[in-house]
Amino acid sequence: MLIDTYGRQATDLRVSLTDRCNLRCTYCMPEEGLQWLAKPDLLTDDEIVRLIDIAVNSLGIEEVRFTGGEPLLRPGLVGIVERVAALAPRPQMSLTTNGIGLKRTAKALKAAGLDRVNVSLNTLRPDVFKTLTRRNRYQDVLEGLDAAREAGLTPVKVNSVLIPGLNGDEAPDLLAWAVEHDYELRFIEQMPLDAQHGWKRDGVITAGDILTSLRTRFTLTEEGAEARGSAPAERWIVDGGPHVVGVIASVTRPFCAACDRTRLTAEGQIRTCLFAREETDLRAALRSDAGDKEIARIWREAMWGKKAGAGLDDPTFVQPDRPMSAIGG
């Protein structure tokens, strides 16, 4: 098992498959992009599957989430999903994507064994989408969402980040749209993971702000802590159900005490927290012919040293050196 000194057990593995992305979201990376990892630095398909196998069979991982960058840019993605689905025990598998490539891949991913998807969409206004992402791909995302739902990659969850002065007023419209299309909407407070280090805490649209805005149009009933478990999103039932809306308040309502996640970067580094400044190298162990037991030991040791919290409420907090696109969201 992956246990830390605070008694938390990691059962959810986030796997970044690439640092590359085909959008340039303002809250993630600069317009010109970043210096991408060289191919030899990335884990191979075989290495990824082997590490997931170790995580599932030796370390108690029950859920695997594929992330990026943009995971649909990984050429071997469908094959990786198929091989992980063949593991015994079989972990639950999901994927976080910007949705641009889902129209052509949703059916293949479902056939390979993927259970569901999370799609990022921050606005219903094509012009605002272009401003936020620096790309004119709004319609592609909508078509990708439709394809995911039709393929059975459900529940289809939509992740939205609200930015003051851009889409900060769209919360009620986004929820009405999600209810209409049978998507589960989740708002995420903007986190300090931008390459430009332009994030400011006092500029965050908070969970409280979001809920106040939603209540101007909807009746929200809190599901409660028991229903939430270790999930990052607090959820509210919308107008008596069956639809729900979630808020991930990483900044103003940290949920570190219930965290059950461990993260594997595209180049084979273990991160015990999205905001960690330290990493543990598994790629070197893989490529020096270390056995599964030794790799599992290194992983356990890394998790044992996991900190109590992300420290976002600490005035001395220092933002991680790498943006979200490099470490997986």
Whole-prediction pTM: 0.90
> In this structure, how many other beta carbons lie within 10 angstroms of the beta carbon of residue 196?
12
DSSP 75-88: TTHHHHHHHHHTSS
Residue 166: predicted pLDDT: 92
HSE-CB at 232 with a 13 A cutoff on CA atoms is: 19
Sorting pLDDT into bands at 50, 70 and 90, what band is 200? low
C-alpha to C-alpha distance for 267 and 15, rounded to whole angstroms: 10
Using alpha carbons, list the distances in angstroms from residue 229 to 226, 232, 234.
Answer: 6, 9, 9
Residue 311: predicted pLDDT: 52
Mean of pLDDT values over 46-52 = 98
pLDDT digit string, tens, across residues 249-296: 888 887 888 899 999 999 999 999 887 888 999 999 999 999 999 999
Place of tokens 């012009």: 127
Mean pLDDT of the residues in the chain = 89
Q: How much is the CA Rg of the chain, to the nearest whole Å?
A: 19
C-alpha to C-alpha distance for 320 and 197, rounded to whole angstroms: 9
Strand partners, 15: 66, 264
Q: Are 282 and 264 in contact (CB under 8 A)?
A: yes
Cα 68 to chain centroid distance, Å, stands at 8
Is the per-residue pLDDT at 201 higher than 50?
A: yes
C-alpha to C-alpha distance for 299 and 297, rounded to whole angstroms: 5
pLDDT digit string, tens, across residues 139-169: 999 999 999 999 999 999 999 999 999 999 9
Is the per-residue pLDDT at 58 higher than 90?
A: yes
Residue 269: predicted pLDDT: 96
Residues 6+ apart with CB under 8 A from 322: none
> Where does residue 100 rank: exposed (0-12), middle (13-18), buried (19+ CB within 10 A)?
buried
Using alpha carbons, list the distances in angstroms from residue 239 to 14, 27, 212, 221, 323.
Answer: 33, 32, 15, 8, 37
* Tokens of residue 115, six digits: 């259970």
Residue 313: predicted pLDDT: 52
Is the per-residue pLDDT at 22 higher than 50?
A: yes
Place of tokens 């909508």: 142
> In this structure, how many other beta carbons lie within 10 angstroms of the beta carbon of residue 118?
21
Angle, CA 201 vertex, CA 200 and CA 203 arms, to 5°: 70
DSSP assignment, residue 38?
P
Nearest CA to 64 among 231, 302, 264, 259?
264
Sorting pLDDT into bands at 50, 70 and 90, what band is 31? low
Whole-angstrom distance between the N-terminal and C-terminal Cα of the chain? 23
C-alpha to C-alpha distance for 12 and 227, rounded to whole angstroms: 17
